[in-house]
């Protein structure tokens, strides 16, 4: 199945090719979870405090992915 993966800031270095520099369409097995996707891409889970699925915050890293989902991963945000 295919999902759209969007990575932000320094996480973009983990985007698989081909990509447009911000997002990529990724083929994953049917039983893939959010945490499984991060491990497959080599993204350390502790560097991703915020996960959105289809624009909605998803706290469950064991959430199974489904065809056509848009998965967005954000690194820690700081500011003042």
**Per-residue pLDDT reduced to its tens digit, 15-58:** 999 999 999 999 999 999 999 999 999 999 999 999 999 999 99
Residue 48: predicted pLDDT: 96
pLDDT higher than 90, residue 80: no
Nearest-angstrom CA–CA distance, 71 and 80: 27
Across 1-80, the runs of DSSP E, i.e. the strands, are 2-7, 23-27, 50-53, 56-57, 70-74
* CATH architecture assigned to 2-74: Roll (3.10)
> Of the candidates 51, 56, 43, which has an alpha carbon nearest to the alpha carbon of residue 12?
43
Banded model confidence at residue 69, pLDDT cuts 50, 70, 90? very high
């Amino acid at each position: 199945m295919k999902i759209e993966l969007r990575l932000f800031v320094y996480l973009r270095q983990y985007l698989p090719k081909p990509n447009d520099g911000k997002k990529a369409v990724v083929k994953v097995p049917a039983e893939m979870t959010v945490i499984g996707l991060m491990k497959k891409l080599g993204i350390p889970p502790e560097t991703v405090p915020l996960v959105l699925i289809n624009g909605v915050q998803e706290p469950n890293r064991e959430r199974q992915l489904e065809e056509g989902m848009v998965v967005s991963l954000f690194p820690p945000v700081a500011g003042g």
